[in-house]
Amino acid sequence: LESSLLTQPWASVCFGESSFLAKAFFGDTGYILLISDLSSVWYENADIQVVGQRSKELNKRLTVHVSSFLHRLRNLMCPLLEGQPGTTTSFSCHHMASGLSLHVKSELSGLPFYWDFHCCPAPVEMVSRHLVRPLIRMSLALQYQVKELTSLLLQKDAEIEDYRESETALSRGRLRTELFQEKMFQQNFMAEVRSSAS
């Protein structure tokens, strides 16, 4: 399940007043959920036995196969992770000393359907594999991209300056641009990042 989770994208979700990043994978034999508030990371890896036992505890009036519960959970969580939560489903979360509990209330076959995700703190290796390493790789890729774009802008400025020196006039004055100042651009960008973070 965890190897399948690696291929799933992170999504921004809200439960009440709290915002989280979350990703999940639901298979035929269980599910795995990873959720973070960027201060802590929690997860639950539930196999078919756990799902079967919990479904009996939470939904005594429902007698459906465990695979139906997993299918229903997938249908509830996937739209949420895609930014389109169902109107008949409600989510709430509770912080506990042992982790994070995510409560789901919906319907199945015309009857109330309840589910609790019992998430415990994720191990360091899991956090590194799913969050830290991908973020570092993306940061390095973006740094390389910025470097390439900066180099391209400086080349374009040199090309434009050469045209100006040869007294080539712009047909439209509004297209005139100032020379790209790399240091000034970086300072302004960092100032905007700090103000948005605060």
Same domain, 83 and 116: yes
Phi-psi region of 83 (alpha: psi -120 to 50; beta: other; left: phi over 0): left
CATH number, residue 49: 2.170.210.10
173 shares a domain with 149: yes
Asked if residue 137 and residue 84 are part of one domain, the reply reads: no
Q: Whole-model pTM?
A: 0.74
Residue pair 157/179 in contact by the 8 Å Cβ criterion: yes
Burial class, 110, CB count within 10 angstroms (exposed 0-12 / middle 13-18 / buried 19+): exposed
pLDDT at residue 183, rounded to an integer = 83
CA distance 178 to 181: 9
User: What is the residue-wise DSSP string for 28-59?
Assistant: SSEEEEEEE-SS-EEEEEEEHHHHHHHHHHH-
Q: Are residues 153 and 175 in the same domain?
A: yes
Domain identity same for 179 and 114: no
As a whole number of angstroms, the distance between CA 41 and CA 131 comes to 9
- Which is it for strands 41-47 and 111-121: parallel, antiparallel or unpaired? antiparallel
CATH number at residue 192: 1.10.287.450
The pLDDT assigned to 155 comes to 87
Q: Mark whether 75 and 155 lie in a shared domain.
A: no
Same domain, 72 and 167: no
DSSP secondary structure, 65-125, as one string = -HHHHHHHHHHHHHHHHTT---TT-EEEEEEETTEEEEEEEEEETTEEEEEEEEEEEPPHH
For residue 170, what pLDDT is reported? 63
Q: Do 33 and 82 sit in the same domain of this protein?
A: yes
User: Could you list the mean pLDDT of each consecutive 10-residue stretch along the chain, which spans 198 residues?
Assistant: 88 86 92 93 94 90 83 88 79 89 86 92 94 90 88 84 74 70 82 73
Residue 100: predicted pLDDT: 94
**Range of the structural domain that residue 172 is part of:** 128-196
Q: Examine the fold and report which residue of 122, 150, 179 is the final residue of a domain before the chain moves on.
A: 122
Look at residue 198 in the predicted model and tell me its pLDDT. Answer: 62
Q: Give the count of domains, the chain.
A: 2
Q: Do both 45 and 99 map to the same domain?
A: yes
What confidence score (pLDDT) does residue 188 get? 82
Tell whether 138 and 97 lie within a shared domain. no
